[in-house]
């Protein structure tokens, strides 16, 4: 998932290990797209490649590119694709600061 987001030029990609913090999910992938169009491209590509390569479809999708936040829930992994403004506003890394940072790609 991180590689797919990176291929679409997502920035500030963070992979958080939540296993010792919550039962909601094992991991969060958090990344930023600079425009509505890029946010949509990142999430569309994630969904297409995960379905084609791994036969994974999200259990739930929430948000839209023009809202600045799209969430893709794959059960054990939840992907958050933010605009810069929404990412700064919600500060998920701060909320989940007890989680272990597995990977950070700036």
| Beta bridge partner(s), residue 16 | 28, 101
Mean pLDDT over residues 12-40, rounded? Answer: 97
Mean pLDDT, all residues of the chain: 97
Structural contact between residues 28 and 22, judged by C-beta atoms closer than 8 angstroms: no
What CATH code is assigned to 2-100?
A: 3.30.460.10
Residue 106 has pLDDT above 90, yes or no: no
pTM attached to this predicted model: 0.95
Q: What is the pLDDT of residue 30?
A: 98
Nearest-angstrom CA–CA distance, 32 and 51: 22
Which of 79, 92, 89 lies closest to 4 in space, CA to CA?
79
The dihedral sign for the CA sequence 40, 62, 24, 75: negative
Mean pLDDT over residues 76-105, rounded? Answer: 97
């Amino acid at each position: 998932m991180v590689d797919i987001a990176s291929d679409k030029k997502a920035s500030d990609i963070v992979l958080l290990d939540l296993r010792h913090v919550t039962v909601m999910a094992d991991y969060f992938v958090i990344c930023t797209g600079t425009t509505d169009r890029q946010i949509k491209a990142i999430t569309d590509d994630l969904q297409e490649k995960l379905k084609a390569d791994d036969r994974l479809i999200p259990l739930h999708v929430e948000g839209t590119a023009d809202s600045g936040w799209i969430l893709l829930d794959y059960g054990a992994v939840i992907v958050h694709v933010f605009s810069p403004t929404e990412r700064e506003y919600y500060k998920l890394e701060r909320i989940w600061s007890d989680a272990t940072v597995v990977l950070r790609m700036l």
